[in-house]
Amino acid sequence: MGARFGQVLCSAAASAGAASAKETKSMPLRVQILLYDGVEEQDFIGPRDVFGHAVQAGGEVETTLVRPSAPGEVTCFFGTKVTVPAAWEPTDTDLLIVPGGGDQLINDPDVLQNLVRAQEAGVIVAGVCTGVMVLSAAGLTKGRPCTTHHLAKAELAAQGGRVIDARVVDDGNLVTAGGVTSGIDLALWLITRECGASVAIGVESIMEYEQRGAVWRST
């Protein structure tokens, strides 16, 4: 894991309680969410909401929607069109979220190579739903604890992933989640881990949502 792994500074509002040790790290937490044609709307909107509300709750988080190769418009799974403002720079972030929905990225060798580059550079790589299968195609889940949508778990295991029956699985610089709405829980967990529990509780209050399920952790 790289030097920036977990290196986050959260505001004074997030510096109280049992999570205070996490809340005195370097700032801010830089998040990229990778969008592409066919991406499932909820897979990325859920995490985007969490990271956005984390700022309102006192966390220092910068979130950018990115697209492979160049900025531009993507057409999502249900036809929603989203203008993506930035090109993906694989090593220029602390945390990368790969949502699911389509198989375009699985068949893109440049994307797969860049995922490996990102993780080797110290980026925390996280997958939501079948976005985890993109990480698997890049070889990032082989031999490691992980999860995905229940309909894809057998395939993930066949490709070498050590599939865990949990909604969110945290293996350090690889964090994975189950299907669709699990992305909200993944993002809440990452805010808890990187910015502290008080920020995550604030997000839950704003969103009127409580994190579901226990997080499986390797450490």
As a whole number of angstroms, the distance between CA 65 and CA 32 comes to 6
Residue 4 gets the label, from left (phi > 0), alpha (psi -120 to 50) or beta, of alpha
Dihedral (CA of 61, 191, 126, 36) sign: negative
Residue 40 and residue 191: Cα distance in Å, rounded?
22
**Any idea how long the chain is?**
219
Which one of 10, 76, 129, 195 is the catalytic residue? Answer: 129
What's the one-letter identity of residue 62? Answer: E
Are residues 35 and 44 in contact, defined by beta-carbon separation less than 8 angstroms? yes
Q: Is there a contact between 126 and 178 (Cβ–Cβ < 8 Å)? A: no
Name residue 94's amino acid: D
What letter does residue 105 receive in the DSSP assignment?
Answer: G
Is residue 146 annotated as a catalytic residue, yes or no?
Answer: no
Amino acid in position 142: K
The contacts of residue 120 (CB under 8 Å, 6+ apart) are none
Q: Are the C-beta atoms of 179 and 150 separated by less than 8 Å?
A: yes
User: Which residue numbers are catalytic?
Assistant: 129
